[in-house]
Amino acid sequence: MLASFSALDTPGAGAVSRRDFVRLCTMAAAAVGLGPLAAERFLEAAERGLKPSVIWLQFQECTGCTESLLRPTHPGVADLILDLISLDYHETLFAAAGHQAEAARKQAMQAHAGKYVCIVEGAIPTKENGIYCMIGGRTAIDILQDVAGKAGAVIAIGSCASWGGIPSADPNPTGAVGAHEILKGQAVVNIPGCPANPYNLLGTVLQYATYGTLPALDAQGRPKFAYGSTIHEHCPRRAHFDAGRFAEKFGDEGHRLGYCLYKLGCKGPVTHANCSVQHFGEVVDAWPIGIGHPCFGCTEQAVAFRVPLFTTVDIERPTPPDTYPPIHATQGGVSPIATGVAGAIVGALVGGGYVASKKLSAGPADDEVAQKKPEV
């Protein structure tokens, strides 16, 4: 294991206590829905040193997903992840570079063929045969197909790897796509987000590391434990939405009071993610809505970088509000035009009939009248 970055190997620097480790394993197990016994299994597996090999590929990305993984320190998620797995290739975290790094990758691929986890960060350009991202003389497409082809599991971390992310925003000059578009026919776990929530990766990797299985996925290959609900469904500001209390402008009274940000263009109702329950880092409310900015739908291909930030969205499954209808709600109505028309007709009938009848009374003898009247 060349150049692996393990905090446990360097005591004192970001050392993780066993208690923290146990706590986080329990948390992660719960998040994935695996139950309390799973935490024990995680521990056992880690202590036995059964760590799956991971090859982390980076393509058209900002490295934000890796960075977000490194941010938390209490406990250090990076440390934990890196203790649970054997990171055999990571361009950002490696001390090595160039041919040395490539050699390490090739060796890991050979040694753990069919078993290693391929994590993909970043989109893959497809225009002009993919020349817009080349590493070591090879296109991203080529590298991905090679590495993923021999992997035991493929995880696409971040929106870029899941569906193209920022590089794929219109006009998408490089033809950026997600990993699953390159790896057609192969199961890919997508963990979208910009960045992805590191705990989602943690849960997925933990499960694979312990049980060798992947979590239940939705139609877009996203783990249901994290992407099964929309932000709107679990938003802490939902009560304000239901009560009709909205911030109308940034900095106004409603905004200061923490009201719902729907009218400012929050994409929560159409965004599947767990940011509202699993905040970023370990700081409470460290997520967009928590700090007062509407969600922009970073996990959703149809929303992020497509729908303007402050455009409001439809509610997919509207639910009852905090208000109630009265016992007798006013319904139906009277059209003024119809009233006018009806009045005119009735008036014409009455008036016309009266006038005509007058002519009948006042007229001369019947046959003369008959001769004068036009034929009907």
Partner 1 sequence: MGISRRAALQGMVLGGASVAGAATASAAERPEAPSDAVGLLYDTTLCIGCKTCVVACQDANGLPRDPAGIDAKYDAPVDLSAKTKNVIKLYVEGGKRSFVKVQCMHCVDPACTSACMLGALQKREHGIVSYDPALCVGCRYCEVACPYNVPRFEFAKATPKIVKCELCRTRLAEGREPACSEVCPRKAVIFGKRSDLLKEAKRRLAASPGKYVPKVFGETDGGGTQVLYLSHVPFEKLGFPTLGDESTPSLLRSIQHSVYRGFAAPAALYAVLGMVMLRNRRAGPGGEP
Partner 2 sequence: MTPHATPVGGRLWTPSVQLLSGILGISLIVMLWRFVFGLGATTALNDGYPLGLWIAFDVVTGTALACGGYGVAILVYVLNKGRYHPMVRPALLTSALGYTLAAIGVNLDLGRWYLVWKVPLYFWHWNFNSALLEVALCIMAYMVVLWIELSPAFFEKFQDSPIGSLRRVSRAALPILEKASLWIIALGLLLPTMHQSSLGTLMLLAGARLHPLWNTPILPLLFLISCVSMGYAMVVFESAFSSIAFKRTPEIKMLAGLAGAMVPILYVFAVLRFADLAWRGRLGLLFAGDGRSVLAALEFVLFLAPTVMLATRARRHDLGNLVRAAMVMMFAGALYRFDTYLVAFTPGAHWSYFPSVQEILITLGLVSVELMAYILIVKTFPILAGHPAAAERQAV
Instruction: Give the residue with the Cβ less far from partner 2, 323 or 331.
Output: 331
Residue 376 binds which one of partner 1, partner 2, none, with CB within 5 to 8 A depending on kind?
partner 2
Task: Report the SS3 class of residue 85.
Answer: coil
Among 317, 335, 355, 376, binds partner 1 (CB under 8 A): 317
Q: Which residue has the tokens 């930030």?
A: 309
> Residues near 15 by Cβ (< 8 Å), separated by ≥ 6?
7, 8
Asked if residue 163 binds partner 1 (CB under 8 A), the reply is no
* Least distance in angstroms from the C-beta of 320 to partner 1: 4
Q: What is d(CA 97, CA 104) in angstroms, rounded to the nearest whole number? A: 10
* Least distance in angstroms from the C-beta of 147 to partner 1: 45
Q: What is d(CA 369, CA 359) in angstroms, rounded to the nearest whole number? A: 9
State how far the alpha carbon of 272 is from the alpha carbons of 216, 223, 243, 275, 318, in Å. 15, 11, 23, 9, 16
Please tell me the total number of residues recorded for the chain in this structure: 376
Residue 324 binds which one of partner 2, partner 1, none, with CB within 5 to 8 A depending on kind?
partner 1
> How many CB atoms neighbour CB 117 within 10 A?
25
Q: Which two tokens stand for residue 258?
A: 């923490």
* Least distance in angstroms from the C-beta of 246 to partner 1: 8
* Least distance in angstroms from the C-beta of 261 to partner 1: 14
Part in contact with partner 1 (CB under 8 A); list of ranges 6-14, 106-114, 298-306, 327-335: 327-335
Cα-Cα-Cα-Cα dihedral sign, residues 86, 115, 204, 229: positive
Among 185, 251, 308, 325, binds partner 1 (CB under 8 A): 325
* Least distance in angstroms from the C-beta of 349 to partner 2: 8
* Least distance in angstroms from the C-beta of 314 to partner 2: 23
Part in contact with partner 1 (CB under 8 A); list of ranges 175-183, 203-211, 273-281, 310-318: 310-318
* Least distance in angstroms from the C-beta of 265 to partner 1: 13
Phi, psi of 191 (to 5 degrees): -120, 80
CB 31 within 8 A of CB 116: no
| Closest by Cα among 225, 218, 236, 308 to 265 | 308
Residue 244 binds which one of partner 1, partner 2, none, with CB within 5 to 8 A depending on kind?
partner 1
- Per-residue binding string, partner 2, 302-341, x by CB under 8 A, is --------------------------xxxxxxxx-xxx-x
HSE-CB for 217 with a 13 A CA cutoff: 15
> Residues near 220 by Cβ (< 8 Å), separated by ≥ 6?
162, 163, 190, 227
Part in contact with partner 2 (CB under 8 A); list of ranges 9-17, 57-65, 155-163, 349-357: 349-357
Residue 367 binds which one of partner 2, partner 1, none, with CB within 5 to 8 A depending on kind?
partner 2
List contacts with partner 1 (CB under 8 A).
242, 244, 262, 315, 317-321, 323-329, 331
List contacts with partner 2 (CB under 8 A).
328-335, 337-339, 341-342, 345, 350, 353-354, 356-363, 366-367, 369-371, 373-376
